[in-house]
Amino acid sequence: MTLRTTAALALAAGLMLAGAAQAAPAVKLYTMDCGKLSLEDADMFADDGAYKGRKTDMVVPCYLVRHPKGDLIWDTGVPASRDKLLAQLKQLGLEPKDIEYLSVSHSHFDHIGNAGLFAASTWIVDPDEKAYAFRPQQRADEAQFKAYAALEGARTVAVEGEGPHDVFGDGTVQVIPAPGHTPGHTVLLVKLPKAGPVILTGDLWHIAESRAAKRVPRFNVDRAKTLASYEKIEALAAQTKARVVREHVPDDFAAMPAFPQALE
């Protein structure tokens, strides 16, 4: 083998490695503890009465997606977890001002509860959900509204139509409309280089068996859209062979790497 041939092979190998790195950037997904919920009666989570009288414990996670082009916070937990969220970010050497993007699955208090910390970030949001978050009824609840009121003046990027919003432009992190629970509810698809695709489902399903049973919470704003979103996200999961994370389900939370470890 000549020196020229060896050099050519080395260059080709380098280009192949560079191409692989470009195709699969070093995306990481961190799961953070941002609260817990305990209910004596979970009846509201199924309009067929399946959970009437059932005591239910739920986890409230926050997620951090680290991408070579920036960081995204997805869901921000209950307001009471503010200090815990800040402490977890600090373990990674981060402060809220370091986070480029914020997005929440929807504007219920356990998902948007600390979003005001990230008012300097760019908020990726469905316009219907933004309007829902700032409607008069929400403004009247001062205790909860003040936790995210600062977002009203934040830079925003709109999630338009039914298709995904590609956060970093390479398909690895996508905010996907899945309305019904709220008008602009979304889920997050993260494509990791080793673990593969993961779908963070927000409040599509609160209780483990709700997914298979296709149960709809009593307080969802649109039952038909909820069922359509179930079909849409199930089809996405099947197509991408994604790991589906039901965000409030303790077993799904426990199956993720314990912070500060990341799913890669």
Locate the domains of the chain by residue range: 26-254
Average pLDDT for the chain: 92
Q: Is the pLDDT of residue 163 over 90?
A: yes
Q: Is the pLDDT of residue 181 over 90?
A: yes
Percentage of the chain exceeding pLDDT 90: 90
Considering only 21-30, 140-149, 202-211, which range has the smallest mean pLDDT?
21-30
Within 8 A by CB and 6+ apart from 82, the residues are 113, 114, 117
pLDDT at 91: 98
Q: Is the pLDDT of residue 164 over 90?
A: yes
Which has more pLDDT, 16 or 162?
A: 162
Average pLDDT value for residue range 160-184: 97
**Ramachandran region, residue 86 (left: φ > 0; alpha: ψ -120 to 50; beta: rest):** alpha
Within 8 A by CB and 6+ apart from 188, the residues are 63, 65, 74, 103, 105, 173, 174, 175, 176, 199, 200, 202
Radius of gyration, CA atoms only, the chain: 20
Q: Is the pLDDT of residue 20 over 60?
A: no
Q: Is the pLDDT of residue 19 over 60?
A: no
Average pLDDT value for residue range 143-155: 95
Percentage of the chain exceeding pLDDT 70: 91
Residue 5's pLDDT band (cuts 50, 70, 90): very low
Within 8 A by CB and 6+ apart from 41, the residues are 51, 52, 53, 54, 55
pLDDT at 25: 85
Q: Is the pLDDT of residue 262 over 90?
A: yes
pLDDT at 21: 39
Contact status, residue 181 vs residue 195, Cβ threshold 8 Å? no
Model pLDDT for residues 189-237, shown as the tens digit of each residue: 999 999 999 999 999 999 999 999 999 999 999 999 999 999 999 999 9
Residue 15's pLDDT band (cuts 50, 70, 90): very low
Residue 24's pLDDT band (cuts 50, 70, 90): low
Determine whether domain 26-254 maps to CATH 3.40.720.10. no
Q: Is the pLDDT of residue 23 over 90?
A: no
